[in-house]
Amino acid sequence: MRPTVILVSVLAAMLASGSFTLPAAAEEAAAAESPAPALPAISVTEVVSQRLSDRIIASGLIAAIEEVQVVPLVEGQPLESLLVDVGDMVTEGQVLAVLSRTSLDLQKTESVASLAAARATISQAEAQLVEAQSAAAEAARVVERTAKLRESGTAPQATLDTVNANETGANARVDVAQQGLESARAQLALAEARLENVDLLLSRTEVKAPVAGKIIARNAKIGAVATAAGQPMFVITRDAALELRADVSETDLMRLAPGQKANMRAIGMAEALQGTVRLVEPTIDPLSRLGRARIQVDEAGDLRSGMFVEAEILAAEREVLAVPVTAIGSNLDGSAVMRVKDGVVERVPVTTGIRDGGMVEVTGGLAAGDLVVLKAGAFVRAGDRINPVVASAGTN
């Protein structure tokens, strides 16, 4: 073993002094065997097609879509009875209260008597007209006979003048009788109208519901004199329909439109309620900078007017290209992602759209299947070479 040790020692001394060199092939082999520098492992995610929903969160108070006030159509009559109370469901035409009929019954009796008198007056006027017409016809015949006698010379001119005057008077009496009959008929029409008016007032002593719905207020009191002034007797919610009057920021308001669906939750209610945006009001409060959307509740259930409710409105839902929110970076130039191509990082400006949970829609700048750095700008810059490690699109 000692000669081998001596030979190795001599070779080592020669290499150290530079008097001996290894062949070129040996040097290349040694270089090939040395390890290459390791690239950093960076998590990346793939741009995928995904269905995202644009939801707007709003809140407000429940109110009736339409409130109908019920007032008495007959004034000056005391209220005798109330047939409904607050919270009752009523149908259209249902009697809610009854007013006194005493004075109106007396008026009806008077109107019936006036009607009978008017009919009797008409009968008398008709008889007078017939009598006047008969007298006028007889006067006309007398004039005709007298005129013939005058032509034959057997009747003096004075007689003819007299009968002519009598005919004129008879015709005038016919006109008077005719006018008397017309006046009597007018009185009959007036009496009939008065009777119809009294009957109408009597029918209105029953205060009826103009629409179907729920009674939410009752101001009427038994014994009070009915009047249209002041508070209404009843307030009815038409068809018991309720809506959420939700306050929405002016930026979100621009994304709302009638027909959009909404999920609503109220304190104390376990299940969510469904609704539809009915109206987006065209004004914005200048102080709060909030607009208002009216969301009709499909089934009110136990909801009450005045309750506070939160709503999640589905403004849009579509299939889009999406990346995690963490992949988006922002600066003064706008939004961008760090795309990885052939192991090299490059910065790509993008335009974004819907944000849904941890995902965001990319409307421009990327294509399906592109790889982007999951946490943009955290460890890499444009031009860096990396070892991409594909992570799930939902990983943050």
For the stretch 66-124, pLDDT in tens is 999 999 999 889 999 999 999 999 999 999 999 999 999 999 999 999 999 999 999 99
Say whether pLDDT at 18 is over 80.
no
pLDDT top residue among 29 and 197: 197
For the stretch 317-369, pLDDT in tens is 899 999 999 888 887 778 889 899 888 999 999 998 888 888 999 988 898 98
Is pTM, for the whole model, over 0.75? Answer: no
pLDDT category at 127 given cuts 50, 70, 90 is very high
In what order do the strands lie in the sheet containing 206-208?
Answer: 79-82, 95-99, 206-208
pLDDT top residue among 32 and 253: 253
| Mean local confidence (pLDDT), 129-142 | 90
For the domain bounded by 43-53+319-390, which CATH number is listed? 2.40.420.20
pLDDT category at 22 given cuts 50, 70, 90 is very low
The per-residue pLDDT for 26 is 46
* Phi, psi of 79, deg, nearest 5: -85, 125
pLDDT category at 249 given cuts 50, 70, 90 is very high
Tell me what the pLDDT averaged over the chain comes to: 86
The per-residue pLDDT for 356 is 87
CATH topology of domain 68-99+205-236: OB fold (Dihydrolipoamide Acetyltransferase, E2P) (2.40.50)
Say whether pLDDT at 395 is over 80.
no
The per-residue pLDDT for 150 is 79
The per-residue pLDDT for 164 is 87
For the domain bounded by 57-62+239-316, which CATH number is listed? 2.40.30.170
Cα(363)–Cα(371) distance, integer angstroms: 16
Q: How far is CA 309 from the centre of its chain?
A: 17
Say whether pLDDT at 4 is over 50.
no
pLDDT top residue among 377 and 180: 180
Q: In b/e form, how buried is each residue of 126-163, taking b as 16+ CB within 10 angstroms?
A: eebbeebbebbeebeebbeebeeebeeeebeeeebeeb
Q: Which two tokens stand for residue 100?
A: 């006194």
The per-residue pLDDT for 151 is 84
Say whether pLDDT at 12 is over 60.
no
Q: Domain ranges in the chain?
A: 43-53+319-390, 57-62+239-316, 68-99+205-236, 102-201
* Count of other CB atoms within 10 angstroms of residue 305: 15
Say whether pLDDT at 245 is over 90.
yes
Beta-carbon contacts of residue 137 (< 8 Å; ≥ 6 apart): none
pLDDT category at 3 given cuts 50, 70, 90 is very low
For the stretch 164-209, pLDDT in tens is 898 899 899 999 999 999 999 999 999 999 999 999 999 999 999 9
Say whether pLDDT at 15 is over 60.
no
Give the chain as a 3 state SS string: CHHHHHHHHHHHHHHHHCCCCCCHHHHHHHHHHCCCCCCCEEEEEECEEEEEEEEEEEEEEEEECCEEEECCCCCCCEEEEECCCCCCEECCCCEEEEECCHHHHHHHHHHHHHHHHHHHHHHHHHHHHHHHHHHHHHHHHHHHHHHHHHHHCCCCHHHHHHHHHHHHHHHHHHHHHHHHHHHHHHHHHHHHHHHHHHHHHHHCCEEECCCCEEEEEECCCCCCECCCCCCCCEEEEECCCEEEEEEEEHHHHCCCCCCCEEEEEECCCCCCEEEEEEEEEEEECCCCCEEEEEEEECCCCCCCCCCEEEEEEEEEEEEEEEEEHHHCEEECCEEEEEEEECCEEEEEECEEEEEECCEEEEEECCCCCCEEECCCCCCCCCCCECEEEECCCCCC
Q: What is the percent of the chain where pLDDT is above 90? A: 52
Of 56-60, 294-298, 346-350, 376-380, the one with minimum mean pLDDT is 376-380
* Phi, psi of 186, deg, nearest 5: -65, -40
The β-bridge partners of 276 are 261, 296
